[in-house]
Structure 1
Amino acid sequence: MSDTSPGPDEVRYVARLARVGISDEDAERFADQFADILGYFETLDEVPEVERESDLANVMREDEVRDGLDQEEALKNAPESEDGYFKGPNVS
């Protein structure tokens, strides 16, 4: 683990900035937890990089242009419409 792990003083400082009350016991506990979390990140730094495949293929289908509904068909089943638009309840 690195020597830059936050201690209880840093935890209390951040808590003070966030205007959160924190006990000395909690500051100690959080400092230990932060040190553990930073240790996990250091472990991830040790994982070797993996060569990725450069010839990736798009497995999605190509877009097709198709005719859609005209305005009259689109509004046919609407409970309410006005001036060629769907009409819904007022939202306040």
Structure 2
Amino acid sequence: MSNDAVSPEEVRHVAELARVDLADGEVDQFTRQFADILEYFETLDEVPEVDRDADLANVMRPDEARDSLDSDEALRNAAETEDGYFKGPNVS
């Protein structure tokens, strides 16, 4: 893969979207690293396809109804509760 597969402008744009400040040296480093990563993905094109149906088996156990905690017992160790529910911090 050529080194211009990912441009420094694209790296800066992605960093801006992720709200990450990058120095010029870091932009160059990430540009090279992204190009290397894309090259690894291109090697997947060389993997031959498998022309057979996989033998699938359900490995999950069947659901079984069983007793669970009642609300009071479940909330017993909670730091804060409100109206019978766990209370957590506000997320903004």
Q: TM-score, normalised by structure 1?
A: 0.58
Q: Read off the aligned partner of 1:58 and give its amino acid letter.
A: A
Q: Read off the aligned partner of 1:44 and give its amino acid letter.
A: L
Q: Read off the aligned partner of 1:50 and give its amino acid letter.
A: V
Q: Higher helix share goes to which structure?
A: 2
CA drift at 1:6:
1.2
1:3-28 CA distances to partner (integer Å, 9 max, x unpaired)?
Answer: 76212121112212222110111101
State the partner residue of 1:58.
Answer: 57
Q: For this pair of structures, how many residues does the alignment match?
A: 76
Q: Read off the aligned partner of 2:5 and give its amino acid letter.
A: S
Tell me which structure has the larger Cα radius of gyration: 1
Alpha-carbon contact 1:15-1:22 (below 8 Å) kept: yes
Cα distance in structure 2, aligned partners of 1:38 and 1:22: 21
CA RMSD of aligned residues (A): 3.5
Cα distance in structure 2, aligned partners of 1:25 and 1:34: 14
Segments of 5+ residues of structure 2 without an aligned counterpart are 81-92
Q: Structure 1 residues 13 and 57 mapped into 2: Cα distance closer, same or farther (>3 Å)?
A: closer
After the TM superposition, list the runs of 4 or more consecutive aligned residues in structure 1 that deviate by more than 6 angstroms. Answer: none
1:34-70 CA distances to partner (integer Å, 9 max, x unpaired)?
Answer: 001000111101211012345x26375x96x9xx88x
Segments of 5+ residues of structure 1 without an aligned counterpart are 79-84
State the partner residue of 2:42.
Answer: 42
Q: Read off the aligned partner of 1:5 and give its amino acid letter.
A: A
State the partner residue of 1:32.
Answer: 32
Cα distance in structure 1, aligned partners of 2:56 and 2:13: 50
Q: Read off the aligned partner of 2:35 and give its amino acid letter.
A: A
